[in-house]
Chains A and B, each alone.
Chain A
């Protein structure tokens, strides 16, 4: 049984989310075809055997990225290998390409899966509904299981290995083509991919109140700033930082909720974090019900002290 995995890469290596998708595929099958494309793909392709791929298809060409052209190439590769699975990461690119490839394969899509297991000749999958308020277990009946895999959920492959790389010319013309990217600041992590998230809410009183949140995130070094819907709607923070049912669902190692009361929509977006810390003035705030550790107190008193201590800990390595 072959599984095809679309691999996003950066600096000559697969992105962590893609390494996890490769690991998930390899845990199900000994025939994993990794597909890479774009600038730097040759360097990334060479190392994918070590991440669990048994074959690598390097799509070559210097044309602009197009999600529909990529979907065509993936569907073609799935067909050529007679693959039973097509996995992508539930990243913005993966989520964009996956439904198109699925439609070309006359298969439906299972987005943001939290588990994929073998069952008889096929698979069973688990994915959240209502932003995680419910967990659905499904039995896919599609000819190819097309799935995007939730980040920070699957284990990357650790067994090493080598994979033969073949080069294939990519489909060049797409219906929608990427003209350019307005990149965000170098090193700035997205709230959905950071191992630590420090989120602020209405209790910070004003947009400037987020200064203490940004400083704590900076002290961690590998943290992203998150926000509640209330402060995004008020225009204090951009929507890209919103955690919750109408924002992003996150599951970092550590989630620190500061001055966030914990509306059900917010809890749905962060409840699967490994460790949750809540800092809130109101000891009755619902956020404390999901927190592992809480401090009852004013953010403007607690955070500067916490920031200083975290800075010291990180400086020690």
Chain B
């Protein structure tokens, strides 16, 4: 089975975000990057499926040339090769133009399955995976916490507010991964050494017209300073009084 795992390089989740001088973009000074949390789960699932069914795992990403580092991290965990799509204004792209660029590459790679995270933890949009499936005319299940592939059929469980939903689908398909799906492995030294020899292709892609122009980016106002109402169980009446008479939420 040939699998493409789509990943995005995003700022680490411990970032104290600041706005750049243009008031429209993230201040990149001191920002460290990582493979988006849910994409790591997608990569792990891809490698597990390869270990079970055989085949090949390709890591596909869009970003600056520096993002080859994040692709290598995934190769160190067992993926076979990488493709990095670059365009000079990649971070101006919207979800649709990203999905269109990925679609062209996915068609060329011809996988049975595309795995990606449920959302990238920078813009939190969660749209590229299902958009890619729609453009390809493929099945898609999102927020998947359990995945079974049997021949050209699949079953996926997804988390929803009302419980766990079980979907049936046909391959080829796009699956977006939620946290409970697996526990990503750490790369071992052997994997890291092997990754250095694995191919990472860098391919320029046409800049896409963005339908999402940022007009202003800001840090949300700090919450009004609160107060300590007291210590221990003795403070419960003071808390309830505040909730009832000040905050009016009881």
Interface of A is mostly: mixed
Q: Nearest chain-B residue to A306 (Cβ)?
A: B236
Of the stretches B47-55, B79-87, B153-161, B198-206, the one at the interface is B153-161
Q: Decide if A50 is an interface residue (CB 8 Å cutoff).
A: no
Residues of B within 8 A of A131 (CB): 121, 124
Contact of A275 among B121, B214, B247 (CB under 8 A): B247
Say yes or no: A178 contacts B166, CB within 8 Å. Answer: yes
| Pair B131/A291 contact, Cβ less than 8 Å | no
Collect the chain A residues with CB atoms within 8 Å of residue B95's CB. Answer: 99, 102, 108-109
Which of B139, B145, B212 has the most CB atoms of chain A within a 10 A radius of its CB? B212
Query: Distance in Å from the Cβ of B250 to the closest Cβ of chain A?
Result: 6
Of the stretches A23-31, A51-59, A157-165, A235-243, the one at the interface is A235-243
| Interface presence of B243 (CB below 8 A) | yes
With a cutoff of 8 Å between Cβ atoms, the chain B residues found around residue A177 in the complex are: 167-169
A168 close to B (CB within 8 Å): no
Q: Is A112 an interface residue (CB 8 A)?
A: yes
Chain A residues near B250 (CB-CB < 8 A)? 254, 310, 313
Asked if A136 and B131 make an inter-chain contact with CB atoms under 8 angstroms apart, the answer reads: no
Query: Interface-forming stretch among B1-9, B59-67, B106-114, B218-226?
Result: B218-226
Q: Can you list 27 A-B pairs, Cβ within 8 angstroms, ordered by A?
A: A67-B130, A68-B133, A102-B127, A107-B211, A108-B127, A136-B214, A136-B216, A139-B212, A141-B212, A142-B211, A142-B212, A175-B169, A176-B139, A176-B141, A179-B167, A182-B163, A182-B166, A184-B163, A193-B161, A238-B180, A254-B250, A264-B15, A271-B220, A292-B227, A293-B247, A296-B230, A306-B240
Closest to B175 in A: A176
Q: Which one of B179, B215, B219 contacts A133 once the chains associate, using CB atoms below 8 Å?
A: B219
CB within 8 Å for A277 and B239 given contacts A130-B122, A290-B223: yes
Chain A residues with Cβ below 8 Å from B16 are 133, 264
Evaluate contact between A103 and B131: CB separation under 8 angstroms. Answer: yes
Which of B125, B157, B209 has the most chain A CB atoms inside 10 A of its CB? Answer: B125
Extra inter-chain contacts (7) besides given A134-B217, A181-B166, CB under 8 Å: A67-B130, A92-B143, A92-B159, A111-B126, A134-B26, A137-B215, A254-B249
Determine whether A234 belongs to the interface, using a CB cutoff of 8 Å to chain B. no
Contacts of B231 in A (CB 8 A): 295-297
When distances are taken between beta carbons in the complex, the residues of chain A under 8 Å from B160 are 91-93, 181
**Residues on B facing A (Cβ under 8 Å):** 11, 13-17, 19, 26, 37-38, 94-97, 99, 119, 121-131, 133-135, 137-143, 145, 155-170, 173, 178-180, 209-220, 223-224, 226-233, 235-237, 239-240, 242-244, 247, 249-250
Considering only CB atoms, which chain B residue lies closest to A129 in the complex? B123
Q: Which residues of chain A are near B133, meaning CB under 8 Å?
A: 68, 100, 175
